[in-house]
Chains A and B, each alone.
Chain A
Amino acid sequence: GESVGLHLPTLSVQEGDNSIINCAYSNSASDYFIWYKQESGKGPQFIIDIRSNMDKRQGQRVTVLLNKTVKHLSLQIAATQPGDSAVYFCAENQGAAGNKLTFGGGTRVLVKP
């Protein structure tokens, strides 16, 4: 079946640098995407979302880019902080399947002081 996947399982970044987390998706019918952050032992926390009719959306220190041509999604974190250390998941909304979310495999971000 179709799924959402990630290129990098672990990303180490120096505190203060920018982080880029990538995600590939295969369901061309997906109309909505979300990035979640999950800290150890906790539930996922919403970061930012983007609809398929957009290619960029910005939040506080985060930017999501959507490239529908190559089915690629990325999350950029500016000035990465120790508190950003977590696992990040992209999720793809399947509107035709009852608006269920399909999660990617996750990328662990480790922020080095």
Chain B
Amino acid sequence: GAVVSQHPSWVICKSGTSVKIECRSLDFQATTMFWYRQFPKQSLMLMATSNEGSKATYEQGVEKDKFLINHASLTLSTLTVTSAHPEDSSFYICSARGGRTGFLGQFFGPGTRLTVL
């Protein structure tokens, strides 16, 4: 149980285009979803927290107009990287909380590798 999926697993796009990444909780309803980015050989950096039906809360330094987050249902959150540039190339990972009573941790998706040319 508590499986989180992401789509696509990898994407290559041209500079200036937008890319949408989907995050789904497959067998539970996620009260909260999170988006992280991870550069090679580095730790996970939280970008934003998303609750179903409300606006996402972005971490300091993360541009909300560039990284659009939509959390339309208890099982789906999307991250859209708008006007992508090479410096946006990274490993984007979502996570979800819920599905296990008393568990304060998060279940992570497999990640999406974004390469911007």
Contacts and interface: CB of A to CB of B under 8 A. Distances in A.
Please determine whether chains A and B interact with each other in the same assembly.
yes
Nearest to A48: B105
A43 B43 contact: no
B88 to A, nearest CB: 18
B108 A43 contact: yes
Given A44-B93, A103-B43, A106-B43, A34 B108 contact: no
Interface in B13-29: none
Contact of B104 (A32, A42, A43, A105): A32
Interface residues of B, number: 24
Given A93-B104, A99-B104, A41 B43 contact: no
Interface string A69-108: 0000000000000000000010101010011111111100
B97 A42 contact: no
Nearest to B43: A103
Interface of B: 4, 6, 32, 34, 42-46, 49, 57, 93, 95, 97, 103-111, 113
